[in-house]
A and B are shown apart, each in its own frame.
Chain A
Amino acid sequence: MAYTLEGSTGAWEVVVGLEVHAQVISQSKLFSGASATYGGAPNAHVSFIDAGFPGMLPVINKECVAQAVRTGLGLKAQINLFSRFDRKNYFYADLPQGYQISQFAHPIVGTGTVEIELQDGTIKHIGITRLHLEQDAGKSMHDQHPSKSVVDLNRAGVGLMEIVSEPDIRSPEEAGAYLRKIRQIVRYLGTCDGNMEEGSMRADVNVSVRKPGEAFRTRCEIKNVNSVRFVMHAVEAEALRQIEVWESGGEVVQETRLYDPAKGETRSMRSKEDAHDYRYFPEPDLLPLVLEQGWVDGLKAALPELPDEKRARFCAEYGIPFYDAGVLVADQATADFYETVAKGRDGKLAANWISGDFFAAMNRTGKSIENPPVSAADLGALLDLITDKTINGRIAKDVFEEMVETGKAPGAIVEEKGLRQVTDTGAIDAAVTKVLDENQDKVAEYKSGKDKLFGFFVGQVMKAMQGKGNPALVNEAVKKQLG
């Protein structure tokens, strides 16, 4: 079912395109040797180039170029062997040169495509228009002094990748799924940490609405939205606003807007008339960026396995359902954890344990996949104990909790507590006999047709054996003795 919003004149379709700004992971800035590390004392990571001193010239950081190419490859996009930097001119206190070096006419990455999965399992492809490299600005702060603004240039000149999507997104859910997918890809690639709270990833959201089947109507751009949730909310809030404008006989004007998460609404930032004339022109301080196909091929060969491929492989190699595989490849660390546990073992069992007890323990203890409540090796060892029938599944859960609590290895816990599964049929038979003797009345009821009581007898036997009985053998013995 296509997502629509109901207005007084009927259903409206939402059209969304995203511009994602992703900060490049690199040692130094895009055009200077200053550190690109987040944080640090204000203006601690600033070179004369970043601060726009006279006579200073930019020099392209090759690693940032490589990161952009890797990201382009991850987006299954065209890598442009020829690209060029342009100057985007505007005045602001945190833009030291008075222009931002960006790529306007010739971006480093061209069209590509990203696959997103929706809640109902639908797969949809979102087109990528382009990815270009540009430098970040500094940060103006207006609350540090009663009458002055202060500027921190630590971020000025840090490399950004702007990833522009086609207007293929049709709902808040798709917008969220797209943004999460982009984040997942750059994190897999190690090209951006995707941390939206620290601002290393943020999105400009272009929204318009139309009646189904119509051509595009005027769009508005919502600037700098900094969480997946806010992007989804902003899409809906802005779409509803536009519908109201259209339906009340008005016209949506192209403008830049801001999303206010507290009020859950967008408000105008500047209209088209006030829009900057950026006076783009080719950056004369830099030569065009010319890449060799061989170099690009080398980067491609060294790319890590990406989430879509990993997911398909997990399904094929470990025989797990597509949905489960999707959960496990959500991030690289989880996928690695799973694969360490699953390698050489029952892949389904591993998947069930990780998405069940393990995730529950992780959430409960507030730990993370990087610092897990139980190591992958220990969890694997626990699965081995189940598979070789040293313990049964019921006991395994107790052992797991003990592992979480004490950090001890499963083998040690099993030995220490004597939890080894009882497969001695003599012992099992004796236990069954005892339970049936003690419950003569129930045996009679069972025999008169109350079949459900079978489970009761098995439970009592297991209880008498402190849960250590081999479930299959216990079942068999109960059945035999009941005749």
Chain B
Amino acid sequence: MFDLTLAGAAKALKAKEISAVELTSAYNEAVAALNPRLNAYITTTPELALEQAKAADARLADGSATPLTGIPIAMKDLFCTEGVRTTAGSAILEPFVPPYESTVSGKLKAAGAVMLGKANLDEFAMGSSNITSFYGAVENPWKRQGSEAKLVPGGSSGGSAAAVAARIAIAATGTDTGGSIRQPAAFTGLAGIKPTYGRCSRFGVVAFASSLDQPGPMARNVEDNALLLNAMAGFDAKDSTSADRAVPDFTASLTRGVKGLKIGIPKEYRLEGTNPEILALWDKGIEWLQAQGAEIVEISLPHTKYGLAVYYIVAPAEASSNLARYDGVRYGKRVDGADLIDLYERSRAEGFGAEVKRRIMIGTYVLSHGYYDAYYLKAQKVRNLILKDFTDAFGQVDAILTPTAPSAAFGLGEKMDDPVTMYLNDVFTVPASLAGVPAMSVPAGLSADGLPLGLQVIGKHFDEETVFAVSAAIENAAGFSALPEVRAK
């Protein structure tokens, strides 16, 4: 039962081979068994899930079901969920039970998806390894061959990734600001897409960096992503940056193939010092697409090398402002002080973790008088150049292929001493975030020590369909079927 994909489970539910209650109960049990070890969920909601499963069975019976009805999923704990504790991986929101529902989680709810719980994440989605969560690190269900060392699942959607990989959720929601869906998907052998900025509403999603944040799905394969995105996407009047444009049926593009498509290979991504395994996998991806009739074109994204620097100015700048509301005054954690300033300082000192504090300080600095022009303004200019790189490239090609991450999942405790080394994880994913274009990670192979590796497909603004088509072609060619050691069976 745990081997069913979302599409497979939907088919089984529709054919009444299995009921939503049976499926959810099995998953609830699997969560109860594995979550204490993996820590993929901060909050589990088994009763709520069962209730939703019952309602799903009613819909399956009366014919009002959607492909998501009765599908047990994990909800990244950055989405506000009405009546269910929401933490954003931080202590500062404790206690916070939103009296409202985020648009995306609401759409999934309306489609009949069953929520198993709220998935762990880096605090305020700031991290690439899920180690900054106040609720503890998440263990990657994958192991290096012959080693029991705990690996990180990537981040910030690490809980979502671990839950789906370990089969304690069929699929999950994530959010991606600089790679937070794609990198954990790559680290855990999943497919995950960061849609075009504006494709999914940010309303009710705890903000990290508003101009970059974008909700998206994570699942076992490309098709499941398409099914989820069909339900998650769409204009929302409550988010002024959401795009008022029609949402196509993304599943229709899965079988399009890549014949005749021009696929760009950015020469600048062959970074010096990149793991040869990653480069080899990339070459393999190029061959697969070529073999299926795509034309490979070398392209240039000259400003890519500034991507990380720009990202680590823009994202902290916005974060420093977005996180100002967590002040201990209206909700969440309050530590009383002698006066208002003291209350702020104590509440925020206790409520925020080290990485969040670091980014608030960086962000405050780059926006400060006298530094704004040199940092924030300059970064915005370079961001425009990066966007132009992509616009120019997409004048020549239909999609771009790159690796997702510079390495496979690393060990818990590795790369912890230097935040900059950690930031390098995002080197391939950040440019697409800055440009706002859609990008998907597809599992494409294993490293020498048996860990999953992903390739990234980047598309034009609002052309997720081509991204899905190319990703499906890679998926077919790669035939990735490896499974993690720790999983529900």
B207 lies within 8 A of A52 (CB): no
Chain A residues contacting B367 (CB-CB under 8 Å) are 89, 279-281
B327 in the interface (beta carbon within 8 A): yes
Q: How many residues of A contact B (CB 8 A)?
A: 30
A87 CA to B206 CA in the complex, in Å?
Answer: 18
A149 in the interface (beta carbon within 8 A): yes
B325 lies within 8 A of A98 (CB): yes
A96 lies within 8 A of B317 (CB): no
Partner of B318, one of A59, A277, A284: A284
A60 in the interface (beta carbon within 8 A): yes
Chain B residues contacting A99 (CB-CB under 8 Å) are 321, 324
Counting from the closest, the 8 A-B pairs by CB-CB distance are: A98-B324, A284-B210, A279-B367, A284-B211, A52-B325, A55-B204, A54-B206, A277-B369
A55 CA to B327 CA in the complex, in Å?
Answer: 15
Which residues in window 278-311 of A have CB below 8 A to B?
279-281, 284-287
A212 CA to B293 CA in the complex, in Å?
Answer: 82
A97 in the interface (beta carbon within 8 A): yes
A55 lies within 8 A of B240 (CB): no
* Closest chain B residue, CB of each to CB of A148: B336
Which residues in window 236-278 of B have CB below 8 A to A?
237-241
B330 lies within 8 A of A52 (CB): yes
Chain B residues contacting A284 (CB-CB under 8 Å) are 209-211, 241, 318
A54 lies within 8 A of B86 (CB): yes
A287 CA to B243 CA in the complex, in Å?
Answer: 11
Chain B residues contacting A149 (CB-CB under 8 Å) are 340
Chain B residues contacting A96 (CB-CB under 8 Å) are 325, 329-330
B99 lies within 8 A of A279 (CB): no
Partner of A285, one of B80, B210, B317: B210
B368 lies within 8 A of A277 (CB): yes
Of the candidates A48, A54, A87, A285, the one having the most CB atoms from chain B within 10 angstroms of its own CB is A54
B390 in the interface (beta carbon within 8 A): no
B202 in the interface (beta carbon within 8 A): yes
Q: List 14 A-B contacts (CB under 8 A).
A: A48-B100, A55-B80, A56-B204, A57-B202, A93-B329, A93-B340, A96-B329, A97-B324, A99-B324, A279-B321, A279-B364, A280-B367, A281-B367, A284-B241
Contact count band on B = 35 or more
B203 in the interface (beta carbon within 8 A): yes
A96 CA to B326 CA in the complex, in Å?
Answer: 9
* Closest chain B residue, CB of each to CB of A90: B324
Task: Indicate whether A91 sits within 8 Å of B324 (C-beta atoms), given known contacts A54-B98, A277-B368, A285-B241.
Answer: yes
- How many interface contacts (CB-CB < 8 Å) are there between A and B? 97
Chain A residues contacting B237 (CB-CB under 8 Å) are 59
B205 in the interface (beta carbon within 8 A): yes
A55 lies within 8 A of B325 (CB): no
Which residues in window 316-372 of B have CB below 8 A to A?
317-318, 320-321, 323-325, 327, 329-331, 340-341, 344, 364, 367-369, 372
Q: Smallest Cβ distance from B397 to chain A, in angstroms? A: 28
* Closest chain A residue, CB of each to CB of B202: A57
Binding site for B on A (CB under 8 A): 48, 51-60, 87, 89, 91-93, 96-99, 149, 151, 277, 279-281, 284-287
Partner of A55, one of B205, B211, B241: B205
A277 CA to B376 CA in the complex, in Å?
Answer: 15
A56 CA to B322 CA in the complex, in Å?
Answer: 11
Chain A residues contacting B204 (CB-CB under 8 Å) are 55-56
Of the candidates A87, A97, A149, A284, the one having the most CB atoms from chain B within 10 angstroms of its own CB is A284
* Closest chain B residue, CB of each to CB of A87: B321
A58 CA to B321 CA in the complex, in Å?
Answer: 14
> Beyond the given A96-B329, A285-B207, could you list 13 further A-B residue pairs with CB under 8 A, ordered by the A residue number?
A54-B80, A54-B96, A54-B98, A55-B102, A59-B238, A89-B324, A91-B327, A93-B327, A277-B369, A279-B364, A280-B367, A281-B372, A285-B210
B340 lies within 8 A of A60 (CB): no
A89 lies within 8 A of B321 (CB): yes
Chain B residues contacting A285 (CB-CB under 8 Å) are 207, 210, 240-241
A114 CA to B423 CA in the complex, in Å?
Answer: 55
Q: Smallest Cβ distance from B90 to chain A, in angstroms? A: 10
A56 CA to B236 CA in the complex, in Å?
Answer: 13
Q: Smallest Cβ distance from B270 to chain A, in angstroms? A: 32
A398 CA to B209 CA in the complex, in Å?
Answer: 75
Task: Indicate whether A48 sits within 8 Å of B99 (C-beta atoms), given known contacts A55-B206, A58-B240, A59-B237.
Answer: yes
Which residues in window 92-112 of B have CB below 8 A to A?
93, 96, 98-100, 102
B310 in the interface (beta carbon within 8 A): no
B232 in the interface (beta carbon within 8 A): no
Q: Smallest Cβ distance from A9 to chain B, in angstroms? A: 36
A225 CA to B390 CA in the complex, in Å?
Answer: 52
Q: Smallest Cβ distance from B126 to chain A, in angstroms? A: 15
* Closest chain A residue, CB of each to CB of B213: A284
Chain A residues contacting B241 (CB-CB under 8 Å) are 284-287
Chain A residues contacting B469 (CB-CB under 8 Å) are none
Chain A residues contacting B376 (CB-CB under 8 Å) are 281
Which residues in window 206-229 of B have CB below 8 A to A?
206-207, 209-211
Q: Smallest Cβ distance from A140 to chain B, in angstroms? A: 9
A172 CA to B438 CA in the complex, in Å?
Answer: 60
B88 in the interface (beta carbon within 8 A): yes
A149 CA to B93 CA in the complex, in Å?
Answer: 22
Task: Indicate whether A98 sits within 8 Å of B327 (C-beta atoms), given known contacts A54-B88, A54-B96, A54-B98.
Answer: yes
